[in-house]
């Protein structure tokens, strides 16, 4: 727990309640790929202290190896959404919200104050330094660096969400070296969530200038220093000895190895060549390692969710009857059985692991109940009694091809044919999904934690960088989403988020949310300091340690 005044106590002193201040569950920093969770807070001094159990004392040194199914492609936190699991180790934002307990997590900033509902003022820690490497050479982080980083995010090419800066901000500025302020142009309650997202990481201008970006090289203020990145082979990190959270991280090195073949990835872990395997452990995989002392399993639900995107701006999906027919023609229980051996749950617009904001399972099972008979009736009423052929690009990525086959089998039962076109990931994104070249597309949604950003997937102005793959334009949904921005009371916000999801589900588009596994991650027994669940500290790689014996 935080050893000094908590964020909420400070907010109360400014006559803004806990409910007024909190608007979201967590940041994408806390996404659940690792389940490495440590302390839930920090102090307001430059050193954040942590007291371990006397029976489980951290040991410095050693090296951890992580086997992952995807090369990050770019380590730039302001450009690449998917590489957050690595960029958060190298770079830090001002703060975050810890998803495990909904508490404010001071990072580069030691405090946040609210002079009013439009103005946010961060006080930076003294002595936070960029990495002691060329070209930053351990210089101190100042508020001018925050201004530069926000300018770069606002102006640069990115799929990360930056709408706080482009749509909702009046101005931001450095008041002095250790004070940064931002003023919104109207009430925007998700401001604290957005600025805690890893896309708002603080980056040094001289590193961007030297390398023309941060895709392959990096200098940040995070817990880990980039030693080497060879694309498609490995990312090698070493401990930052000057990290502002003193004594962290514990290991000397981390090595991240991308292995795109999932079978090889699993074998690498089982044979002891990796301490972590970056895939969900289904029932069969858990049975393989159950009872073996060299392995451990932590519950780790994923926020990467697979959806069916549909083009709602043109026939056939401009007809709500067609959209409903194809939504209820998906047998989600069969999907869970085939994908996860029965070990999964339904998703609404907000995925089920975000339990505070997600719709209840019984409600989702009722709303999204499989009904092929009604689906055929709806198609017939819409003029498609003889069925449909749908152009369906699918990314050759993760489980997407397998999911496409399952959905294709479901639709065959109502006379609908999916013409699946498997595409390389980059081509799929550029030419098909973001190029709007599809009738239906099957792909994942990004692992955001903030309900506001997640619901923007259904917003006419889009989620990331004004991207709206399904080309939806629904004034009712837009109005509900925009209405969330002025709600500062937590319980009122929750109810509005739930009601918004209910309306979205009745529209049956521009996405059909599918299902997600219960989620389990595998670790070697060498790794200590793990807890079940998810949280910011583990995502940054500063809580665990390695036992060599």
C-alpha to C-alpha distance for 538 and 439, rounded to whole angstroms: 40
Residue whose tokens read 């660096």: 145
Give the C-alpha separation, 191 to 483, whole Å: 14
pLDDT at 303: 81
Phi/psi at 85 (5° precision): -65, -20
Q: How far is CA 14 from the centre of its chain?
A: 31
The answer to whether the peptide bond before residue 249 is cis (omega within 30 degrees of 0) is: yes
Residues whose CB falls within 8 Å of the CB of residue 296, separated by 6 or more in sequence, listed in order: 522, 523, 524, 525, 527, 530
Could you write out the DSSP letters of every residue in 323-349? HHHHHHTS-HHHHHHHHHTT-EEE--S
Reply yes or no on whether the pLDDT at 41 is more than 60: no
Q: For the segment 177-224, what is each residue's pLDDT rounded down to a tens digit? A: 999 999 999 999 989 988 988 889 999 999 999 999 999 999 999 999
Q: For residue 470, what pLDDT band results from cuts at 50, 70 and 90?
A: confident
Q: Record the tokens describing residue 223, joined without a space.
A: 């817990």
- Poorest-pLDDT segment among 265-269, 372-376, 544-548: 544-548
CB 195 within 8 A of CB 121: no
- Here the tokens at position 136 are 């930053």
Give the residue among 490, 500, 447 at the shortest CA–CA distance from 190: 490
- pLDDT score of 499 more than 50: yes
- Over range 82-109, report the average pLDDT: 83
Higher pLDDT, 25 or 540: 540
Cα torsion for 246, 248, 252, 253, to the nearest 10°?
-130
Answer whether residue 102 shows pLDDT above 80.
no
Contact between 435 and 426 under an 8 Å Cβ cutoff? The reply is no
Which of the two residues, 158 and 246, has the higher pLDDT score? 246
Can you tell me which residue has the tokens 């393989």? Answer: 288
Query: 283 and 343 in contact (C-beta within 8 Å)?
Result: yes
Q: What is d(CA 462, CA 453) in angstroms, rounded to the nearest whole number?
A: 9
Note the helical H segments in 508-543.
536-539
Whether the per-residue pLDDT at 263 is higher than 50: the answer is: yes
Q: Which contacts of 3-6 are long-range, i.e. CB under 8 A and separated by 24 or more positions?
A: 3/41, 3/42, 3/43, 3/49, 4/43, 4/44, 4/45, 5/44, 6/41, 6/103, 6/104
To 10 degrees, the CA torsion angle through 471, 477, 479, 480?
A: -140
Instruction: For residues 291-309, give the mean pLDDT.
Output: 88
pLDDT band at 338 (very low <50, low <70, confident <90, very high): very high
Classify 423 as helix, strand or coil: strand
Mean pLDDT lowest for which of 35-44, 242-251, 332-341, 412-421? 35-44
Q: Which two tokens stand for residue 125?
A: 């820690």
Q: So what's the pLDDT on residue 280?
A: 86
Instruction: Name the segment(s) of the chain with CATH classification 3.90.76.10.
Output: 7-51+76-214
Is the pLDDT at 486 greater than 90? The verdict is: yes
Banded pLDDT at 465 (limits 50, 70, 90): very low
Q: Output the CATH code of domain 305-517.
A: 3.10.105.10
Say what percent of the chain tops pLDDT 70.
Answer: 85
- The reported pLDDT for the residue numbered 82 is 72
Does residue 135 have a cis bond before it (omega within 30 degrees)?
A: yes
Q: How many CB atoms lie within 10 A of CB 287?
A: 10
Q: Which residue has the higher pLDDT, 299 or 463?
A: 299
State the span(s) of the chain assigned CATH 3.10.105.10: 305-517
How many Cβ atoms sit within 10 Å of the Cβ of residue 38? 22
The pLDDT assigned to 476 comes to 96
Token pair belonging to 399: 């489980």
pLDDT mean over 315-336: 97
β-pairing, 295-299 vs 440-445, is: unpaired
Name the 3-class secondary structure at 374. helix
Give the CATH number of domain 7-51+76-214; options: 3.40.50.300, 3.30.750.80, 3.30.930.10, 3.90.76.10: 3.90.76.10
The pLDDT, as a whole number, for residue 162 is: 80
Backbone phi, psi, residue 324, to 5° = -65, -40
Q: Is the pLDDT of residue 51 over 80?
A: no
């Amino acid at each position: 727990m935080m050893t000094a005044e908590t964020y909420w106590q400070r907010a109360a002193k400014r006559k803004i309640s806990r409910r007024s201040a909190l608007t979201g569950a967590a940041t994408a920093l806390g996404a659940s790929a690792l389940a490495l969770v440590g302390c839930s807070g920090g102090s307001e001094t430059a050193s954040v202290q942590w007291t371990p159990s006397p029976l489980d004392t951290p040991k410095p040194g050693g090296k951890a190896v992580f086997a992952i199914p995807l090369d990050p492609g770019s380590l730039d936190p302001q450009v690449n959404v998917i590489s957050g699991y690595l960029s958060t180790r190298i770079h830090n934002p001002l703060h975050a919200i810890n998803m495990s307990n909904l508490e404010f997590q001071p990072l580069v900033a030691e405090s946040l104050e609210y002079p009013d509902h439009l103005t946010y003022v961060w006080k930076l820690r003294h002595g936070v330094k960029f990495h002691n490497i060329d070209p930053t050479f351990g210089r101190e982080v100042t508020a001018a660096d925050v201004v530069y980083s926000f300018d770069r995010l606002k102006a640069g090419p990115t799929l990360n969400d930056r709408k706080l800066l482009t749509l909702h901000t009046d101005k931001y500025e450095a008041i002095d070296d250790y004070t940064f302020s931002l003023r919104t142009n109207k009430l925007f309650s998700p401001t604290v969530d957005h600025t805690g997202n890893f896309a708002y990481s603080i980056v040094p201008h001289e590193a961007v200038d030297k390398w023309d970006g941060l895709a392959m090289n990096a200098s940040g203020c995070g817990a880990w220093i980039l030693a080497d990145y060879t694309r498609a082979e490995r990312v090698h990190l070493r401990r930052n000895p000057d990290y502002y959270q003193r004594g962290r991280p514990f290991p000397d090195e981390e090595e991240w190895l991308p292995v795109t073949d999932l079978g090889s990835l699993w074998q690498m872990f089982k044979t002891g060549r990796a301490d972590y395997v970056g895939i969900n452990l289904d029932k069969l995989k858990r049975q393989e390692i159950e009872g073996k002392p060299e392995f451990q399993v932590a519950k780790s639900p994923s926020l990467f969710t697979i959806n069916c995107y549909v083009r709602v701006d043109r026939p056939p999906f401009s007809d709500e009857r067609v959209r409903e027919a194809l939504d209820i023609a998906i047998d989600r229980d069969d999907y869970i059985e085939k994908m996860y051996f029965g070990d999964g749950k339904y998703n609404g617009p907000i995925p089920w692991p975000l339990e505070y904001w997600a719709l209840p399972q019984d409600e989702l099972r009722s709303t999204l109940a499989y009904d092929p008979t009604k689906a055929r009736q709806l198609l017939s009423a819409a003029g498609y009694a003889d069925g449909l052929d749908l152009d369906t690009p699918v990314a050759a990525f993760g489980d997407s091809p397998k999911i496409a086959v399952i959905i294709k089998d479901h639709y065959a039962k109502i006379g609908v044919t999916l013409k699946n076109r498997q595409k390389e990931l980059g081509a799929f994104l550029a030419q098909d999904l973001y190029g709007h070249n599809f009738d239906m597309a099957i792909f994942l949604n990004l692992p955001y934690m903030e309900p506001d950003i997640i619901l923007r997937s259904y917003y006419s102005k889009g989620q990331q960088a004004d991207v709206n793959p399904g080309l939806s334009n629904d004034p009712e949904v837009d109005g509900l989403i925009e209405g969330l921005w002025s709600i500062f009371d937590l319980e009122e916000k929750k109810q509005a988020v739930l009601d918004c999801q209910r309306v979205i589900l009745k529209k049956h588009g521009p996405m059909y949310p599918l299902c997600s596994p219960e989620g389990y991650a595998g670790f070697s027994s060498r790794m200590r300091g793990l807890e079940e669940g998810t949280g910011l500290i583990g995502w940054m790689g500063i809580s665990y340690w390695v036992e060599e014996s």
